[in-house]
Structure 1
Amino acid sequence: MKYSAKEAAKLTGLTIPTLRYYEKEGMLLEIKRSKSGNREYTQADIEWIEMIKCLRTADVPIREIKKYISLAVQGSTSVVERMEMIQTYKMDLEKKMKLLQETLNIVNLKLKFYQSFVERNEIKELTYLEEWKEFSKMCEEE
């Protein structure tokens, strides 16, 4: 099946300019053109774009994605190097997830702190430092 740029953009959730940028940067391998010169994306192109999106979601820089793609084009001779790259991305994601989970825990505690005031109808004027002391006390009790 062949997809127009508009259809490819809709399928991937990207914009047409983003697709063109990926192509210009060499991250999309040879997008075929129709006789009238319009881009025609294949299912394989769509899957390749999804892989690029996955790497971008993992905050992999464009230059690293380009390196990964150049290795992928080489075939099986680069499997070990690609595996090591993916392992590095995985470790980075795990660190970020841990940090985000810790941040979410603090946000949840802060929310609980405010909810306790609202539920008891004890909304009172506190300075930032007074509030922080009460919040810290609540956290110690948790």
Structure 2
Amino acid sequence: MNKTYDYIIVGAGSAGCLLANRLSADPNNNVLLIEAGSKDNSIWLHIPVGYFKTMNNPKFDWMYKLEKDKGVNNRRIDWPRGKVLGGSSALNGLLYIRGDKHDYDNWEHLGNKGWGFNDILPYFKKSECQENGKSKYHG
């Protein structure tokens, strides 16, 4: 195993995997991606109802709980966080919801040039693999 790397990425969640993929596309980069959890080879991680078997399962979930909150009768609410290749996105039942167009456009209006919906849409499309094929809004 190589012991010298140009980039070391800690956490193989959505962002870590994406970053490792982009950086390793350059053959001159030597990239190490580290994940505390296991591979994502459980069938429950790859079917929509699988989150019933992965959330609150210490094999895939760090088992965090929020602090007691008066707004929920002083209960401690589960906060599932993925401990598996894919991170917390691996536990979400294959759901993905993009933010609202108006929110992104408002960020740009507030002075964040390049954060308007039309600016970031190509990146959303690049990260998608739509089963029914590409469209104006999906990759």
Q: Which has the higher contact order (CA 8 A, sep 6+)?
A: 2
TM normalised by structure 1 equals: 0.21
TM normalised by structure 2 equals: 0.22
Between Structure 1 and Structure 2, the one with more helix by share is 1
